[in-house]
């Protein structure tokens, strides 16, 4: 029977047709689009067949939990390293057997120690404990991880991880913003989880900015290569100077300006045509202060301040450029309009 004689029920049995609907292969897609163009009279049947095929669902969809996801993967990777060592031992020549024997006796000794001195072992347990580092507004901090990775934590942010990591993975959780200079270890990929996004690298440097409220995440790569992936498994690979922007459930790639994304870690405050409201919000976070605007704030500000400038220096700069004036009252800084005052 030819396709033009097909009824709905014939289409839903036809393998080539079903594969087009379920998989969307290139070849079948090409064929069916062309065929439909030539047989518009069949479009109703085709549409109905498509809808029937797509309507089959499992009654309950089971989703693997985030913890289980990592737990399983960690187990798999760990097993792999164990096996690597096993084959190494097997492939050694007989001469080296004595070293294996020595290693084995050391292991036996350790076992003996373990059983005789359980107290010591217990004190060693904390190397698997969870470490939390956080900063308040107005604070920044530099953290050196046990693998040599350097983390610059921006204001109002938090990272946590298991001390010493595992044998097969290095996983860090991030809220807020941080710059990572990852120490190279091909055996243990370094993964940062922030909101719904996982960023995985072997040895690179990158900045991640994740917003707790909007759930947006920006990953800006300086050197090396990273893989940025959302919880549904959609991934992009970044090259240096590329930025992955995750917003509304989608990841897009763009180029970025170092000053906009990363300069904060060098102590540089940078404004590039920012709205004044955003400028003061950033200053609130950067210095841990509060502003109170008693005048309308309209306009855009551009300027940069290097070497962790004191707040007074930044405010002088802004006052000069915008005609605003500042007055400190206890913990709040009041923003007024200088010109307005004069004209009164």
Partner 1 sequence: MTVPKKVYLLKSNESFPKQKSSDSYDFNQLEDKDIWSSFKSGNEDALIFIYSKYVHGLFNFGCQCTSNQELVKDCIQELFISLQFKKGVRAVQNIKPYLFKCLRREIFRALKKQSRYFLKAQVDEYDIFQIELQWDEKMIEDQLSEERKILLREAITKLTSKQREAIMYYYYEGFTYTEIADIMNMSSVVTARKLIYRAIDSLKLAMNESRVQLQFTIHGVLP
| Residue 173: how many other CB atoms lie within 10 Å | 14
Which of 105, 142, 146, 187 touches partner 1 (CB under 8 A)? 187
Instruction: Kindly state whether residue 13 participates in binding partner 1, applying the rule CB under 8 A.
Output: yes
Residue 51 or 212: the one with the smaller Cβ distance to partner 1 is: 51
Place of tokens 């060693």: 124
Residue 80 or 144: the one with the smaller Cβ distance to partner 1 is: 80
User: How near is the Cβ of 33 to partner 1 at its closest, in Å?
Assistant: 18
Residue 36 or 235: the one with the smaller Cβ distance to partner 1 is: 235
Nearest Cα neighbor of 250 from 278, 231, 270, 275 is 231
Q: Compute and round to an integer the Cα radius of gyration of the chain.
A: 29
Which of 26, 41, 58, 296 touches partner 1 (CB under 8 A)? 58
Residue 36 or 102: the one with the smaller Cβ distance to partner 1 is: 102
DSSP secondary structure string, 287-312? HT-EEEE-S----EEEEEE-SS--HH
Q: Which helix (H) or strand (E) holds 67?
A: helix 66-91
Instruction: Kindly state whether residue 200 participates in binding partner 1, applying the rule CB under 8 A.
Output: yes
Q: Which helix (H) or strand (E) holds 28?
A: helix 26-38
| Count of residues engaged in binding partner 1, rule: CB under 8 A | 59
Q: CB of 318 within 8 A of CB of 283?
A: no
Instruction: Kindly state whether residue 56 participates in binding partner 1, applying the rule CB under 8 A.
Output: yes
Instruction: Kindly state whether residue 107 participates in binding partner 1, applying the rule CB under 8 A.
Output: yes
CA end-to-end span of the chain:
92
Binding site for partner 1 (CB under 8 A): 9, 12-13, 15, 18-19, 22-23, 48, 51, 53-64, 68-69, 72-73, 75-77, 79-85, 88, 103, 106-107, 110-111, 114, 121, 124, 167, 186-187, 189, 200, 202, 224-225, 227, 229, 232-233, 235, 237
């Amino acid at each position: 029977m030819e396709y033009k004689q097909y009824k709905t029920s014939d289409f839903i049995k036809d393998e080539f047709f079903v594969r087009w609907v379920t998989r969307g292969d290139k070849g079948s897609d090409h064929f069916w689009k062309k065929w439909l163009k030539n047989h518009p009279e069949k479009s109703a049947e085709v549409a109905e067949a498509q809808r029937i095929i797509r309507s089959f669902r499992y009654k309950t969809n089971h989703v693997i939990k985030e913890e289980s996801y990592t737990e399983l993967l960690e187990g798999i990777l760990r097993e792999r390293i164990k096996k690597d060592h096993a084959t190494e031992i097997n492939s050694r020549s007989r001469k080296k057997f004595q070293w294996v024997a020595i290693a084995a006796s050391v292991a036996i000794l350790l076992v003996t120690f373990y059983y005789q001195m359980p107290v010591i072992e217990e004190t060693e347990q904390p190397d698997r404990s969870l470490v939390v580092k956080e900063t308040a507004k107005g604070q920044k901090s530099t953290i050196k991880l046990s693998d040599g990775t350097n983390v610059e934590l921006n204001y109002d942010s938090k990272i946590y991880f298991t001390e010493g990591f595992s044998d097969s993975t290095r996983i860090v959780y991030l809220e807020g913003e941080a710059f990572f200079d990852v120490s190279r270890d091909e055996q243990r990929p370094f993964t940062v989880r922030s909101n719904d996004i996982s960023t995985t690298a072997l040895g690179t440097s990158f900045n991640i900015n994740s917003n707790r409220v909007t759930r947006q995440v920006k990953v800006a790569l300086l050197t090396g290569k990273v893989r940025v992936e959302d919880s549904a498994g959609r991934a992009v690979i970044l090259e240096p100077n590329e930025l992955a922007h995750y917003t509304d459930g989608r990841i897009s790639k763009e180029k970025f300006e170092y000053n906009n994304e990363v300069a904060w870690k060098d102590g540089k405050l940078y404004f590039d045509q920012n709205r004044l409201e955003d400028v003061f919000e950033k200053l609130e976070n950067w210095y841990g202060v509060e502003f109170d605007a008693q005048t309308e704030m309209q306009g855009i500000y551009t300027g940069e301040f290097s070497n962790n400038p004191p707040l007074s220096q930044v405010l002088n700069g802004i006052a000069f450029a915008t005609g605003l004036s500042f007055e400190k009252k206890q913990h709040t800084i009041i923003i007024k309009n200088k010109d307005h005052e004069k004209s009164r």
